[in-house]
Each structure stands twice: as C-alpha cells, then as structure tokens.
Structure 1
C-alpha cells in the first residue's frame, strides 16, 4: 500500500474535487484494490477516534467523566468498522441501481469509486470526534461536504447528465441517511436487517424522472447542494492559484458556510446566555453557573450550564445551547424528521420540531 498516494488522493478529492473526479473516473480499478488501497485505511479513522473518545478520554459533563468499558469499546469499534465497510459497498449498489433512472450508466466499480471517495470527507472529519463540544460539528460538516462531493462526482463516474445530478444526489443521500441510522441501531444492539433491506429496495426504483418541489425539505436539500457548488467554484479558483493557504481557507470557508446553511450567524455571547439560567428555578436555588461560546470554521455555538438545589438537597441540572451558528445542521435535522421521547423515574427527554 502506498500511503503517500493515498494521502495525496484524499487531499485532492477534498480540496479540488472538480479536477480530481475526472481523473478518478478514468482510472482502471477493481473492487478489491479500492478496498485494499483506500477504503480499509480511511474507514478506520472514525471507528478508532470513537474508541479513543469513548474508552480512553471519556465524555465529561458537570465535572463527571464517563468512559465506555474497554472490552465494550473495542467490540463497538470493530462492529462499527465492519458495518462501515459493508455500507460503502451497499451505497455503491444503490448508486449503480439508480444510474439508468437518471440517465447514467451502470458500472459497479465506478459506483464504488463514487461511494468511497464521497465518504472521504466524513472519514477524515471523523478524527474530530475526540475534540470536546465542537468536535461533532466538524464531523457533521464532513458529512455535509460529502453531499457536495457526490454531486460533483456523479456526472464523471456514472456518466449522468449534469442537470440530473441534483435529483440523483438527493435520492442517494436520503437512502444513505437511512443506512446511517441502521448502522447506529446495529451498533446499539438493535437488529436492523429489515430497514437495510427496505432501503436497498428503495434503490431499485425504475422511475424515468424525478421532480423535486423547491419548497419541500428535499428541495431545500437540493438548494444546499447548489450553494455548495458555488462555494466549490471559489475553492477551485483557490486551487488554480497554487496557494496552499488559500486552498485551506477556501475549504474551511466552504465547510463553515454549509454548517451555517449559507449564512454567517453569530451565537449569543456568554452574558446574553445568563438570563436563561435564572437564580431560582421551580423553588430551587442556583448553586453554580458556567457559560461559554466556542467556534470553529466561522461557526459559533454558545452553551450555558447551571446547577440548582432545594432545602432538602435535591438537585436540578439545566443546560441551554444556542446553535444559531449551526443552523444549516439544524435544518438537516429538521429534514430528517427526528423525534424521540424517553421517560424515567427522574424525568423525561423529548426531541421534537415546533413551529419550523
């Protein structure tokens, strides 16, 4: 395995995808070589980073650090890695099956190239898992950037007409999102074979055309792809300049723009968070308070924590987060329609969408 070549390819697909995809499409490859020389290495990054974070560093909150037991962490890492290797090929099968529906040509090797190099951004960003608080934003940014990579790559690898790339990309992303949920469920110990089979059957649609409502959630996702294309042109110009610093800045600006949904939104300063953490709450008196604002790639997130106690020494913990700077991420969460509700003897947790 040529690690120098692997690193050069990963850098090229991330910083200059428009010039690298034609090169990738023209290369003679096999499924085995793609796995051996590229996928097996990069796909290990998020799995290893997750193990380091969960079992070695741990998750800290309110002065308490929780670590996953070493054996459980290793098993989770191996299962996550194995499922990722399988998902890459499953997504390739979906890309291949959908190709004729969007005017493309079926070719499983080219489809695997598309899947593998699209995942590059997500795999590389996976190292940020170990960064406290804002690391997950970097990981999500990598996943979003992968949407842009897919959009740019499909016309070259699957030979689909450029005007159908938005619809092609949107359908693959929706199915890929379902598969990512499946991975999470399996790692959590829940059987998801039925969901995977359902997702795969979705990929065998023979519809001859796809129309996306611009006002729908899927249409907004397509609009995000167009914004990424505009940012990509700026990054392409930076690549032509030969200035490595300009290239890095353009890539960072692109990720930051996508995190913010195309806008620069400043999160509340710490002093503005404090009023959301009152001195008294439901008869409990505040015993401690901390507020902070963190930023990465031009995206800011503000967080406030407060502890409360009553006369009987019962305790409440309150956390308030302003994610305005990451409104693009929240838009995707809304697009996914995620909802959950959990009740325990101590209280409840609920995730829902309200007034948009």
Structure 2
C-alpha cells in the first residue's frame, strides 16, 4: 500500500500503470489506504491546535481545548474519509459514461492515491503557521490534480482525450464535495461542534 503511495508521488506515470495491472483483490485492499492516511492530518492538527496554537499578528498563541479539538478532529477525519469514498463512488458511477470498466473499490483507490499529497500536506498541522500551511496546501492541491489527470486515463484504460473530460468531471465533483463539507461544518457548529479556545 505504502509502495503505491511513494510511487504515485515520485514516479506517477509508471506507478499508475502498475496500479492498472493490479488484480481485483489487490485493488480492494487499497480501499483501506485513505482510512490509514487520513490519520496523519487528523493527529497533526489535533496536536498543533491544542499544544502549539497559532498567532494572528503579534498576539498570543490561540489554542483549542482538548475536548473541543477532539470533537472537531474526529469529524475532520470522517469528512476526509467520507469525501474520498464519495468521490470514489462517483468515479465508478461515471466510468460507464466515458467507456471505462470500473468498480467502487477502483474508484476509491484512484481517489485515495490521488489525495496522497493532501494527506501528507496535512502534516503541516503539527506547527500551524497560516501562510506556510496555505502554500503547502496549494502545492498539494496542484499535485493532486496533476495525479488525477495523469491517472484516470491510465487506470481506466481510456484515451487521453476522454480521460481529460473524465478527470474534469471528477474535479467538478470534488468542488461540490468541498462545498458540502463547508456547509456541513457550519451546521455542525450549531449542534455543539464549535471550537472552544483556551484562556
């Protein structure tokens, strides 16, 4: 599992070809990948927001209480895993439209491996500095989009032109998913998941 993640980061074209040749039972095992990798940003941000905190200007460090951060981080973890599973389902659902042979596990595996830069960028939460986290986040998003556009045609075994359209449709689904998570966050704040700050 980790070998595929490292391969996707450092030699993406050949690694996507290796993933495309995997037997179905190996692809099914990759469904666990996002569940494991989503722990990295969750743990990082829990530690960073409760022990290090962040500053605005020259003020004191702002920290969350452990209870508040625990609730938010658990929801954050499930949002990450749920987003990967949801987008993976849509990859499978749209595959017939683009002439690809797919399964839900294959869709989740593609999306999970594509999100690897985002999971790794989440480690920046160990030391939350707004400007640095924004730069790391933008680079991670760009790399993930590149991996998606590169990987979809290879793994789905479709022409590059059709793969481009397929990947663009997946990006649209991702944007909808981000919006849903933002709306869900606001709703959950009203139900008691709002951040509580230390004095």
Q: TM-score range by the shorter chain?
A: 0.7 to 0.9
Please state how far the C-alpha of 1:48 moved relative to its aligned partner.
Answer: 1.7
Residue 15 of structure 2 is aligned to residue 17 of structure 1: no
- Structure-2 change in CA distance of 1:90 and 1:30 (3 Å): farther
Structure 1's consecutive aligned runs of 4 or more residues displaced over 4 angstroms after TM superposition are: none
The structure with more strand, counted as a fraction of residues: 1
Q: CA RMSD in A?
A: 2.0
Residue 167 of structure 2 is aligned to residue 142 of structure 1: no
**Residues of 2 paired with 1:21 and 1:174: CA distance?**
22
- Structure-2 change in CA distance of 1:190 and 1:76 (3 Å): closer
Q: List alignment gaps of at least 5 residues for structure 2.
A: 190-199
Residue 44 of structure 2 is aligned to residue 49 of structure 1: yes
- 1:94 maps to which of 90, 97, 101: 90
> Which runs of structure 2 are paired with 1:1-356 in the superposition (5 Å)?
6=2, 8-28=3-23, 29=25, 33-36=29-32, 38-61=33-56, 62-129=58-125, 130-132=127-129, 133-190=131-188
Q: List alignment gaps of at least 5 residues for structure 1.
A: 192-356
The structure with more helix, counted as a fraction of residues: 2
- Structure-2 change in CA distance of 1:144 and 1:159 (3 Å): same
C-alpha contact (below 8 Å) 2:9/2:117 kept by paired residues? yes
C-alpha contact (below 8 Å) 2:38/2:80 kept by paired residues? yes
Q: Which has the larger radius of gyration?
A: 1
Deviations 1:326-354 (A, max 9, x none): xxxxxxxxxxxxxxxxxxxxxxxxxxxxx
Q: What is the TM-score with the length of structure 1 in the denominator?
A: 0.49
Higher relative contact order (CA 8 A, sep 6+): 2
C-alpha contact (below 8 Å) 1:155/1:165 kept by paired residues? yes
Please state how far the C-alpha of 1:150 moved relative to its aligned partner.
Answer: 0.8
